[in-house]
Structure 1
Amino acid sequence: MLEDRVETFDAIIVGSGQAGNPLALALAKQKWKVAIVEKGALGGTCVNTGCTPTKAYVASARAAWAISNAPNLGIDVPKSPKVSLKAIKKRKDKLVNESRLGLRKSLADSPQVSMIRGTATFLDKTRLKVGSRILKSYKIFLNVGARAGVPEGFEEVDYLTNSSILQLDKIPDHLVIVGGSYIGLEFAQIFKRLGSKVTILEMGANLISKEDKDTSEIVRAILENEGIKIICGAKCLKGKNKKSGGVTVTFHKDDNDKQVSGSHLLIATGRIPNSDLLKVGKANLEINEKGYIEVNSKLETNIEGIYALGDCNGKGAFTHTSYNDYEIMEDQLFGEKKRTLDDRIINYALYIDPPLGRAGMTLAQAKKSGKKLMFARMPMSEISRAKEKGETQGKMEVIVDADSDQILGAAVLGTGGDEIIGTFLTAMYAKLSYKKLMKSVQTHPTVTELIPTLLQQLKPVED
């Protein structure tokens, strides 16, 4: 009787994120009958609660900052900017909806693709249950993403996440942020520039602990220069709602119990994969201690015919890595079967202003590699283009393998850093000797033109 209700497909994709949607269309192009299951809004994190909405807010915050900073460039502004979060949100919502509608049309225009709404759970290795429907396929692709994690001590308190904070239509009086990494720092600067008082509480000794200490210290200085209060080394964090409204966070620091109260609380302590929603045990899928679905370099899980793409596999937490997972999968299915995760060079950006662009290893990571290294660093304050723009905070740095002359890593923290890092990344993918880039002639006046100068300053790294 159960088998009579089963709907069979050539492929089932769970999640319409940045790997799932293009994969559905690619499979449909090959005349596969495809089911794509989505429990929320089309587009996944990037479209709905990640890149598109947050970078729209970054742009609005940058505009407010530019007006306030105009007197430093000789432009007299009579009044401070009047900020309307309702209007900023309306603009953001328009961008998000345009992206959703575009995705919906692309999928709807493909007769091979069936969109199924709901949460999918495994029944066994080939069958999934979605509501009252049972779907079956010998090819299942998991693109279920991740969500904000909430640490112990905050379960009963009113808090915001990276998703719900985007629904506010009034500027918080005082935004307290628990978590001093990428998401927390971006929202800290956004809301400070829009008019909030902002306090960041970080358990670790430094902000963005994955970065080198020098980078962390510069980022901290950038944010503190804008009036953001930062408290690192805050242990035993707990939240409590105030009867009068707002939230109080208590913590332990320097052998003392302390507290910070604010009108709003943002939890930004990391993300957890949505694999727990799938009931993966029914399919005997292997997950690691952090909940990520284990995959090999071809994105195959331990179960033949089941693959994991995007944030849920722990191999990258970015739109570009998720889309690259799709590209790897398409090549493995229909191409030369040569593309794998091993080809990928980690790269990302921290979208505070000025932004940080990162490609490859940090200096600390490179030192652990055992390679013979060369390293160079240059402050943005020495770069003419940065001085002309009045934006001299930050640095550029590069790490080179002294034996192979290959660039192992680079960081650009400063004006245009998120774009400029692409120059290093291109050289790394092309496996160019750093000397080729060092001898290149770049456009003047730009920040990029100082890359050859930076490379000329390479010196051996002492053990």
Structure 2
Amino acid sequence: MEKFDAIIIGSGQGGTPLAKKLAHKGWKTALIEQRWPGGTCINDGCTPTKAMIACAKVAHIMSQSKSWGIVSKGYSVDLPAIVSRKNDIVEQFRNGVSKGLEKTAGLTFIHGSAAFSAHKTVTIQLHDGGEQTITADQIFINTGATPVIPDIPGLEEVPYLTSATLLDEVVIPPELIILGGSYIALEMGQLYQRLGSHVTIIEKSPQLVSREDPDVAAVIRKVLEEEDIRVYTSAAADKISHTPDGLLLHITAGSNRVTLTGTHILLATGRAPQTHSLQPAKTGVTLDEKGFVQVNEHLETTCPGIFAIGDVKPGPAFTHISYNDHLIIYKNLFEEAAITTKDRQVPYCMFTDPQLGRIGLSETEARRQGIPVKVACLSMDKVARAIETGETQGFMKAVVHEHTGQILGAAIIGTQGGEIMSVLQMAMAGGITAPQLRDMIFAHPLYAESLNNLFLMLEK
């Protein structure tokens, strides 16, 4: 049994940079990966989806070009070419990760499936055959999450798709039913609608993107429905069957029973941590009731010396959070920084078109906490840059402390919504207040310049 200073299970966006940094510090480090380097983000998450969303954006612009005074003679969608472009980008990113690992001295990359076999001992079923057992005093779990397969009668007989497998389809699904109404579901729904599918979205909550404010969710729903996406909320799937003509899905929507037909079904009802096969109990690592690895604010598990980073633990499941997890661990190990996960900023962006950029407290959360707030809202059709570019869907919303003027949170639905949100994120981090942004000089006519007018709304 080989002894390492550190073992990292999973080469995602937290595990990979941590492995390289530990090796650079002179630690004998093992990085274990059962699929491809880079984790979900590079291989079947952020990178491939955003590559294909960019193609769908071009299709949408062409379909709407007349509104800009450009008459198109028509276009066609070459899905195999779109998928090939996506695959080339994924391979470029994946190869970049692999090369970075290969040239890191002191780092051993092991391709196989890992499980704990004893206290701080990991046994790996090697992909090229055989078995290897290793041990280390410091172990970092970065195994991520996988799509949840809901328990629906008849589903086991249906050829369903997930957010990973759909991206490799080279024929546009004529009628795509999507179960789920959160971020992944909405991105995929708009993507395939723009490529030529007829999309129906089924969400069990009363609104889409259930964690967002109702007015934000309502605007997003309006955007999707204006593109002829059919949306059912407060809806549950009762039964599904496969017929010679396609799929039959029976749902309950409110008090109504509805039967939907489709050719394909995408399951986008959430993600579950990949911990079952890891056998964490053999090393004293405790899971919660949903299977997530329990950690403290320093990301340490119930077994001292074993940590968890990324989607395998509870909390926000975003690539940038996984990356920040590795920084917390590294700085605490080598810089005595005593950083925790408490009160860290959690920005995120949904890459529908227009985007939803979010940071900080929502209005609902702030009022639930009893914080005295004022809310500033500005429709994108009042933003000069949006009018000039012909992209006026959405609105800006900021939650501001009533007495101090501190910005507590924001939701930006609009073109470059994530970038505008990031400006507000930096203002929040630097303690810049709403009145200061109201009077700040921004270059004209940027989208960011509209922050002047957004915070003027607090005076009305």
TM-score normalised according to structure 1 size:
0.95
Equivalent pair of 1:316/1:322 in contact (CA under 8 Å): no
Residues 287-318 of structure 1 deviation map (CA, whole Å, 9 limit, x = unaligned): 22222111112111111000000111122211
Is 2:76 the counterpart of 1:77?
A: no
Match of 2:21 in 1: 26
Shift of 1:74: 0.5
Equivalent pair of 2:202/2:236 in contact (CA under 8 Å): no
Q: Distance in 1 between matches of 2:432 and 2:292?
A: 34
Q: Which stretch shifts more, 341-350 or 26-35?
A: 341-350
Match of 1:3 in 2: none
Q: Which stretch shifts more, 447-456 or 10-19?
A: 447-456
Is 2:294 the counterpart of 1:299?
A: no
Match of 1:125 in 2: 119
Shift of 1:459: 6.3
Is 2:129 the counterpart of 1:134?
A: no
Match of 1:56 in 2: 51
Match of 2:194 in 1: 193
Q: Secondary structure at the match of 2:137?
A: coil
Mark the CA change 1:344 to 1:254 in structure 2 (over 3 Å): closer, same or farther.
closer
Q: Secondary structure at the match of 1:138?
A: strand
Shift of 1:432: 2.1
Mark the CA change 1:96 to 1:458 in structure 2 (over 3 Å): closer, same or farther.
same
Q: How does 1:43-442 map to 2 (within 5 A)?
A: 43-79=38-74, 81-131=75-125, 132-153=131-152, 154-244=155-245, 246-442=246-442
Counterpart amino acid of residue 146 in structure 1: A
Residues 39-65 of structure 1 deviation map (CA, whole Å, 9 limit, x = unaligned): 111100110011110000110000001
Residues 77-130 of structure 1 deviation map (CA, whole Å, 9 limit, x = unaligned): 111x21011000100000101111111111111231111111111122310111
Q: Structure 1 unaligned runs (5+)?
A: 1-5
Shift of 1:255: 3.2
Q: Distance in 2 between matches of 1:128 and 1:85?
A: 42
Q: CA RMSD in A?
A: 1.3
Q: Distance in 2 between matches of 1:184 and 1:369?
A: 29
Shift of 1:236: 4.1
Q: Distance in 1 between matches of 2:197 and 2:271?
A: 25
Counterpart amino acid of residue 291 in structure 1: G
Shift of 1:336: 3.6
Counterpart amino acid of residue 396 in structure 2: M
Q: Distance in 2 between matches of 1:62 and 1:338?
A: 44
Equivalent pair of 1:375/1:399 in contact (CA under 8 Å): yes
Q: Distance in 2 between matches of 1:206 and 1:96?
A: 33
Q: Distance in 1 between matches of 2:433 and 2:103?
A: 46
Shift of 1:268: 0.4
Q: Which stretch shifts more, 273-282 or 85-94?
A: 273-282
Shift of 1:358: 0.4
Equivalent pair of 2:219/2:394 in contact (CA under 8 Å): yes
Count of residues paired in the alignment: 453
Detail structure 1 runs of 4+ shifted over 4 Å in the superposition. none
Q: Which stretch shifts more, 118-127 or 33-42?
A: 118-127
Counterpart amino acid of residue 135 in structure 2: K
Q: Structure 2 unaligned runs (5+)?
A: 126-130
Shift of 1:254: 4.1
Residues 228-270 of structure 1 deviation map (CA, whole Å, 9 limit, x = unaligned): 11111212433222234x3221111243322111111100001
Equivalent pair of 2:234/2:253 in contact (CA under 8 Å): yes
Q: Secondary structure at the match of 2:161?
A: coil
Q: How does 1:446-457 map to 2 (within 5 A)?
A: 446-457=446-457
Equivalent pair of 2:398/2:410 in contact (CA under 8 Å): yes
Mark the CA change 1:256 to 1:38 in structure 2 (over 3 Å): closer, same or farther.
same
Counterpart amino acid of residue 253 in structure 1: A
Equivalent pair of 1:7/1:136 in contact (CA under 8 Å): yes
Shift of 1:386: 0.8
Match of 1:40 in 2: 35
